[in-house]
Amino acid sequence: KPRILLMGLRRSGKSSIQKVVFHKMSPNETLFLESTNKICREDVSNSSFVNFQIWDFPGQIDFFDPTFDYEMIFRGTGALIFVIDSQDDYMEALARLHLTVTRAYKVNPDINFEIFIHKVDGLSDDHKIETQRDIHQRANDDLADAGLEKIHLSFYLTSIYDHSIFEAFSKVVQKLIPQLPTLENLLNIFISNSGIEKAFLFDVVSKIYIATDSTPVDMQTYELCCDMIDVVIDISCIYGLKDDGTGTPYDKESMAIIKLNNTTVLYLKEVTKFLALVCFVREESFERKGLIDYNFHCFRKAIQEVFEVRMKVVRSRKHQSHMQKTKRPTPNGTPR
Q: What is the pTM assigned to this prediction?
A: 0.84
According to DSSP, the β-strands at 79-85 and 112-118 are: parallel
Half-sphere exposure of 54 (CA within 13 A, CB side): 21
- What integer pLDDT is reported at residue 127 of this predicted model? 94
- What integer pLDDT is reported at residue 46 of this predicted model? 57
Model confidence pLDDT, tens digit, residues 32-61 = 887 777 788 888 765 546 678 888 888 777
pLDDT of the chain, 336 residues: tens digit per residue = 788 999 999 889 888 998 898 888 888 888 888 777 778 888 876 554 667 888 888 877 776 677 777 788 888 899 999 999 999 889 999 999 999 999 899 999 999 999 999 999 988 999 999 999 999 999 999 999 999 989 999 999 999 999 999 999 999 999 988 889 999 999 999 999 999 999 999 988 888 899 999 999 888 889 999 999 989 888 888 887 777 666 677 778 889 999 998 889 999 999 988 889 999 999 999 999 999 999 999 999 998 888 888 777 777 777 777 777 676 655 555 555
Give the domain 3-176 fold: Rossmann fold (3.40.50)
**What's the whole-number average pLDDT of the chain?**
87
State the Cα torsion 276-281-283-288 to the nearest 10°.
-80
- What integer pLDDT is reported at residue 37 of this predicted model? 75
- What integer pLDDT is reported at residue 304 of this predicted model? 87
- What integer pLDDT is reported at residue 266 of this predicted model? 95
Strands of the 52-56 sheet, one edge to the other = 40-44, 52-56, 3-8, 79-85, 112-118, 153-157
CATH 3.30.450.190 fits 179-313, yes or no: yes
Query: 202: closest CA among 266, 158, 247?
Result: 266
Distance (Å, rounded) from C-alpha 250 to C-alpha 182? 25
Phi, psi of 43 (to 5 degrees): -85, 130
Are 277 and 229 within 8 A, CB to CB?
Answer: no
Domain with CATH 3.40.50.300 in the chain: 3-176
- What integer pLDDT is reported at residue 329 of this predicted model? 57
Domain with CATH 3.30.450.190 in the chain: 179-313
- What integer pLDDT is reported at residue 252 of this predicted model? 82
Query: 292: closest CA among 313, 265, 316?
Result: 265
State the DSSP string of 143-196: HHHTT-TT--EEEEE--TTSTHHHHHHHHHHHTT-TTHHHHHHHHHHHHHHHTE
* Cα angle 49-176-193, degrees, rounded to a multiple of 5: 60
Query: 300: closest CA among 186, 202, 214?
Result: 186
Half-sphere exposure of 20 (CA within 13 A, CB side): 23
- What integer pLDDT is reported at residue 39 of this predicted model? 80
Hey, which residues does 83 pair with through a beta bridge?
Answer: 8, 116
Going from the C-alpha of 235 to that of each of 11, 14, 230, the distances in angstroms are: 36, 31, 9
